[in-house]
Protein backbone atom coordinates (compact mmCIF):
# COMPACT_ATOMS: atom_id res chain seq x y z
CA UNK A 1 0.00 0.00 0.00
CA UNK A 2 2.80 2.43 0.81
CA UNK A 3 4.33 1.92 -2.63
CA UNK A 4 1.16 2.81 -4.50
CA UNK A 5 0.87 6.06 -2.54
CA UNK A 6 4.44 7.04 -3.36
CA UNK A 7 4.14 6.26 -7.08
CA UNK A 8 0.82 8.13 -7.31
CA UNK A 9 2.46 11.21 -5.78
CA UNK A 10 5.53 10.91 -8.00
CA UNK A 11 3.58 10.48 -11.26
CA UNK A 12 1.48 13.60 -10.57
CA UNK A 13 4.62 15.74 -10.71
CA UNK A 14 6.03 16.26 -14.23
CA UNK A 15 9.59 15.13 -14.87
CA UNK A 16 12.23 17.85 -14.94
CA UNK A 17 14.28 16.39 -17.80
CA UNK A 18 12.01 17.56 -20.67
CA UNK A 19 12.40 21.15 -19.49
CA UNK A 20 16.16 20.68 -19.10
CA UNK A 21 16.46 19.25 -22.62
CA UNK A 22 14.36 22.10 -23.97
CA UNK A 23 16.61 24.61 -22.21
CA UNK A 24 19.81 23.04 -23.57
CA UNK A 25 18.35 22.76 -27.08
CA UNK A 26 17.03 26.31 -27.26
CA UNK A 27 20.24 27.82 -25.88
CA UNK A 28 22.34 25.79 -28.35
CA UNK A 29 20.17 26.81 -31.31
CA UNK A 30 20.11 30.41 -30.10
CA UNK A 31 23.90 30.46 -30.01
CA UNK A 32 24.04 29.02 -33.54
CA UNK A 33 21.79 31.84 -34.81
CA UNK A 34 23.89 34.45 -33.00
CA UNK A 35 27.12 33.05 -34.43
CA UNK A 36 25.58 32.98 -37.92
CA UNK A 37 24.59 36.64 -37.59
CA UNK A 38 28.00 37.55 -36.14
CA UNK A 39 29.84 36.03 -39.10
CA UNK A 40 27.71 38.06 -41.50
CA UNK A 41 28.27 41.33 -39.63
CA UNK A 42 31.89 40.89 -38.51
CA UNK A 43 34.50 39.62 -40.93
CA UNK A 44 38.06 40.42 -41.97
CA UNK A 45 38.69 41.56 -38.40
CA UNK A 46 36.14 44.38 -38.36
CA UNK A 47 32.46 45.15 -38.02
CA UNK A 48 30.72 45.90 -41.30
CA UNK A 49 27.49 47.60 -40.27
CA UNK A 50 27.45 49.85 -43.33
CA UNK A 51 28.26 47.31 -46.04
CA UNK A 52 27.56 43.81 -44.63
CA UNK A 53 24.47 43.44 -46.81
CA UNK A 54 26.57 43.86 -49.95
CA UNK A 55 28.89 40.95 -49.09
CA UNK A 56 26.11 38.75 -47.74
CA UNK A 57 23.94 39.73 -50.72
CA UNK A 58 26.53 38.21 -53.06
CA UNK A 59 26.07 34.85 -51.32
CA UNK A 60 22.27 35.17 -51.51
CA UNK A 61 22.41 36.19 -55.17
CA UNK A 62 24.51 33.14 -56.07
CA UNK A 63 21.47 30.93 -55.34
CA UNK A 64 19.68 32.55 -58.33
CA UNK A 65 16.33 32.61 -56.52
CA UNK A 66 15.45 36.27 -55.98
CA UNK A 67 15.41 39.49 -57.97
CA UNK A 68 18.09 42.02 -57.01
CA UNK A 69 15.74 44.08 -54.82
CA UNK A 70 14.88 40.85 -52.91
CA UNK A 71 18.54 39.98 -52.54
CA UNK A 72 19.33 43.41 -51.08
CA UNK A 73 16.29 43.33 -48.77
CA UNK A 74 17.13 39.84 -47.48
CA UNK A 75 20.80 40.75 -47.15
CA UNK A 76 19.90 43.71 -44.95
CA UNK A 77 17.24 41.97 -42.82
CA UNK A 78 18.39 38.37 -42.34
CA UNK A 79 21.40 38.92 -40.01
CA UNK A 80 19.28 41.05 -37.67
CA UNK A 81 16.45 38.51 -37.79
CA UNK A 82 18.98 35.83 -36.81
CA UNK A 83 20.11 38.03 -33.89
CA UNK A 84 16.50 38.40 -32.76
CA UNK A 85 15.84 34.66 -33.07
CA UNK A 86 19.03 33.87 -31.14
CA UNK A 87 18.22 36.25 -28.30
CA UNK A 88 14.60 35.09 -28.08
CA UNK A 89 15.58 31.41 -28.12
CA UNK A 90 18.14 31.90 -25.37
CA UNK A 91 15.76 33.96 -23.24
CA UNK A 92 12.83 31.62 -23.86
CA UNK A 93 10.41 34.46 -24.65
CA UNK A 94 7.46 33.37 -26.84
CA UNK A 95 9.25 30.08 -27.36
CA UNK A 96 6.47 28.33 -29.27
CA UNK A 97 6.27 31.08 -31.87
CA UNK A 98 10.02 31.66 -32.04
CA UNK A 99 10.47 27.91 -32.53
CA UNK A 100 8.04 28.01 -35.45
CA UNK A 101 9.88 30.98 -36.97
CA UNK A 102 13.27 29.24 -36.57
CA UNK A 103 11.90 26.03 -38.10
CA UNK A 104 10.42 27.87 -41.09
CA UNK A 105 13.63 29.84 -41.63
CA UNK A 106 15.76 26.70 -41.54
CA UNK A 107 13.31 24.96 -43.86
CA UNK A 108 13.66 27.83 -46.34
CA UNK A 109 17.46 27.65 -46.05
CA UNK A 110 17.45 23.90 -46.68
CA UNK A 111 15.10 24.30 -49.63
CA UNK A 112 17.35 26.87 -51.29
CA UNK A 113 20.49 24.92 -50.52
CA UNK A 114 19.03 21.66 -51.82
CA UNK A 115 17.93 23.34 -55.04
CA UNK A 116 21.36 24.87 -55.56
CA UNK A 117 23.11 21.58 -54.82
CA UNK A 118 20.76 19.67 -57.14
CA UNK A 119 21.43 22.18 -59.93
CA UNK A 120 25.17 21.72 -59.43
CA UNK A 121 25.83 25.34 -58.47
CA UNK A 122 29.30 25.57 -56.94
CA UNK A 123 28.62 28.39 -54.52
CA UNK A 124 29.39 29.48 -51.01
CA UNK A 125 26.70 28.55 -48.53
CA UNK A 126 26.45 31.95 -46.83
CA UNK A 127 25.26 30.32 -43.61
CA UNK A 128 28.26 31.37 -41.54
CA UNK A 129 29.81 34.09 -43.65
CA UNK A 130 31.16 33.58 -47.16
CA UNK A 131 33.88 31.07 -46.42
CA UNK A 132 32.00 27.76 -46.59
CA UNK A 133 31.27 25.92 -49.81
CA UNK A 134 27.80 24.43 -50.24
CA UNK A 135 27.89 20.63 -50.09
CA UNK A 136 26.46 17.54 -48.43
CA UNK A 137 27.90 18.46 -45.03
CA UNK A 138 26.24 21.90 -45.03
CA UNK A 139 22.94 20.25 -45.97
CA UNK A 140 23.38 17.70 -43.18
CA UNK A 141 24.26 20.41 -40.65
CA UNK A 142 21.28 22.59 -41.52
CA UNK A 143 18.97 19.55 -41.55
CA UNK A 144 20.19 18.67 -38.06
CA UNK A 145 19.48 22.23 -36.95
CA UNK A 146 15.97 21.92 -38.41
CA UNK A 147 15.39 18.73 -36.41
CA UNK A 148 16.53 20.59 -33.28
CA UNK A 149 14.26 23.57 -34.08
CA UNK A 150 11.29 21.24 -34.60
CA UNK A 151 12.05 19.42 -31.34
CA UNK A 152 12.18 22.77 -29.52
CA UNK A 153 8.89 23.86 -31.07
CA UNK A 154 7.11 20.60 -30.26
CA UNK A 155 8.60 20.54 -26.77
CA UNK A 156 7.50 24.11 -26.09
CA UNK A 157 3.94 23.34 -27.17
CA UNK A 158 3.84 20.10 -25.13
CA UNK A 159 5.20 21.74 -21.99
CA UNK A 160 2.70 24.58 -22.36
CA UNK A 161 -0.13 22.05 -22.82
CA UNK A 162 1.07 19.97 -19.86
CA UNK A 163 1.16 23.11 -17.71
CA UNK A 164 -2.45 23.93 -18.63
CA UNK A 165 -3.61 20.37 -17.89
CA UNK A 166 -1.90 20.26 -14.51
CA UNK A 167 -3.30 23.64 -13.47
CA UNK A 168 -6.91 22.67 -14.28
34 belongs to a structural domain: yes
**Is it the case that residue 83 has pLDDT exceeding 90?**
yes
146 belongs to a structural domain: yes
Separation of alpha carbons 123 and 117, rounded Å: 9
Contact 107/82 with Cβ under 8 angstroms? no
What does the DSSP 8-state code read for residue 93? T
1 belongs to a structural domain: no
Separation of alpha carbons 96 and 81, rounded Å: 17
Return the C-alpha torsion angle 12, 18, 20, 24, nearest 10. -170
**Is it the case that residue 2 has pLDDT exceeding 90?**
no
**Is it the case that residue 11 has pLDDT exceeding 80?**
no
**What's the first-to-final CA gap in the chain, in angstroms?**
28
* pLDDT score, position 161: 79
Nearest Cα neighbor of 95 from 36, 143, 31, 159 is 159
**What residue numbers bound the domain in which 113 lies?**
17-167
Q: Is residue 83 classed as helix, strand or coil in its secondary structure?
A: helix
6 belongs to a structural domain: no
Mean pLDDT of the chain: 89
113 belongs to a structural domain: yes
> How many domains are there within the chain?
1
Per-residue confidence at 164, pLDDT binned at 50, 70, 90? Answer: low
**Is it the case that residue 163 has pLDDT exceeding 90?**
no
Rounded to two decimals, the pTM is 0.86
Amino acid sequence: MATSTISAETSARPAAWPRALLLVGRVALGIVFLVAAYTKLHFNGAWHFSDYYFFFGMAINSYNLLPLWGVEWLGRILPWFEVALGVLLISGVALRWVGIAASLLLLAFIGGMTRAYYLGLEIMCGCFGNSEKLGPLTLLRDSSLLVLALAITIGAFLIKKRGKTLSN
